[in-house]
């Protein structure tokens, strides 16, 4: 498995000056075949500039979370005993954030559970839980009469309609990405034939969706149409691979950067001197970025390290474009 943070490789191109060529006689020029690299006077033409190279390819293998990653403290910390999550998670806002007209229907955060400690997530038919173990192992229990399921790193899980208990079962703390999601405003309410369900998905066994010459990779653990309230996928991009400006008309994007160095560029805003300029949000390790529906945005990498992120769309749907970009048939 690939370990990050990954240092960027620098490719040094050595150029050579063109060799001088003796001038041809008039008769030789007349008999010689047309050579586009030679000017009419016999001197070599300047070489045409090489087309700009695309972003570097990167391996799509699952990374291993370093012992000190992420470099910022997780939003949720359970040090001992039993801890309980309320609402949609720690830090959920009481008012819309900048650029949004409503509160997000989903909330993602990094959660740390100390060895032997237990985290209890809420039980509600109106809220779904998606998550993935980043460093484990972790025991998941769905009820008092069910045996725990051991979740290894990069095993994603989804719980609907009931409680879920997570326990750090190893000698080291467990780190997870968790996201609670409810129906988005205006969306058709989710109804299910089964009141409760729990499913897992090993990202190691999922298709590696690759595009842009191998500069981007995605693995979709849960997506539309099954996971309607929230998708969950892993996104990997090379250190110099940008994402063009785009939006998601009906979905929030919640991106948790496990490793990143770059800038999220958002629509223009009024600056302190009265001018208008794009709003740039620096993104680094451990940061959670939220983009409301319909807000155009793009990713500008710094060129120093790859992007490794867990991404959630609420409601699910935009993640299907990764299959299209990769030319995959579902």
What pLDDT, in 10s, does the model give residues 270-317? 555 666 677 899 999 989 999 999 999 999 999 999 999 999 999 999
Q: Is 295 left (phi over 0), alpha (psi -120 to 50) or beta?
A: beta
What pLDDT, in 10s, does the model give residues 178-234? 999 999 887 777 765 456 899 999 999 999 999 999 999 999 999 998 888 999 999
Q: Which residue has the tokens 């939003």?
A: 75
Q: What is the CA radius of gyration of the chain?
A: 25
Q: Are 38 and 46 in contact (CB under 8 A)?
A: no
What pLDDT, in 10s, does the model give residues 254-269? 999 999 999 999 987 7
Q: Which residue has the tokens 């009265």?
A: 274
Domains, the chain, with CATH or none: 63-326 (2.60.120.10)
With 0.85 as the threshold, say if the pTM is over it: no
What pLDDT, in 10s, does the model give residues 133-149? 999 899 999 987 789 99
Q: Is the pLDDT of residue 68 over 90?
A: no
Provide φ and ψ at 214, rounded to 5°.
Answer: 85, 10
- Round to whole Å and give the CA distance between 274 and 138: 51
Most confident of 39-48, 90-99, 102-111: 102-111
């Amino acid at each position: 498995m690939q370990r990050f943070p990954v240092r960027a490789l620098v490719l040094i191109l050595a150029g050579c000056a063109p060799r001088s060529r003796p001038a041809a006689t008039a008769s030789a020029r007349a008999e010689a075949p047309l050579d586009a690299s030679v000017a009419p006077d016999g001197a070599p033409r300047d070489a045409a500039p090489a087309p700009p190279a695309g972003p570097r390819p990167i391996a799509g293998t699952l990374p291993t979370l370093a012992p000190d990653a992420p470099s910022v403290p997780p939003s949720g910390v359970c040090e001992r005993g039993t801890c309980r999550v309320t609402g949609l998670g720690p830090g959920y806002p009481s008012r819309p954030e900048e650029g949004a007209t409503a509160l997000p229907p989903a909330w993602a955060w990094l959660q740390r559970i100390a060895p032997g400690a237990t985290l209890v997530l809420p039980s509600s038919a109106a809220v779904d839980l998606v998550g993935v173990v980043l460093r484990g192992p972790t025991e998941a229990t769905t009820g008092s009469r069910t045996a725990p399921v051991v979740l290894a790193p990069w095993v994603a899980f989804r719980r609907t309609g009931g409680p879920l208990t997570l326990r750090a079962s190893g000698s080291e703390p467990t780190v997870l990405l968790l996201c609670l999601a409810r129906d988005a405003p205006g969306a058709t309410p989710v109804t299910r034939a089964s009141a409760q369900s729990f499913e897992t998905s090993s990202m190691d066994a999922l298709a590696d969706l690759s595009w842009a010459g191998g500069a981007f990779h995605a693995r979709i653990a849960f997506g539309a149409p099954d996971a309607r309230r929230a998708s969950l996928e892993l996104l990997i991009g090379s250190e110099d691979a940008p994402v063009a400006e785009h939006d998601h008309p009906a979905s929030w994007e919640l991106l948790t950067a496990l490793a990143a160095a770059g800038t999220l560029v958002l629509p223009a805003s009024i600056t302190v001197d009265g001018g208008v300029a794009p709003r740039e949000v620096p993104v680094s390790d451990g940061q959670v970025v939220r983009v409301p529906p319909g807000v155009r945005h793009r990713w500008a990498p710094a060129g120093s390290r790859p992007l490794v992120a867990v991404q959630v769309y609420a409601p699910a749907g935009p993640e299907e474009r990764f299959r299209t970009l990769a030319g995959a048939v579902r």
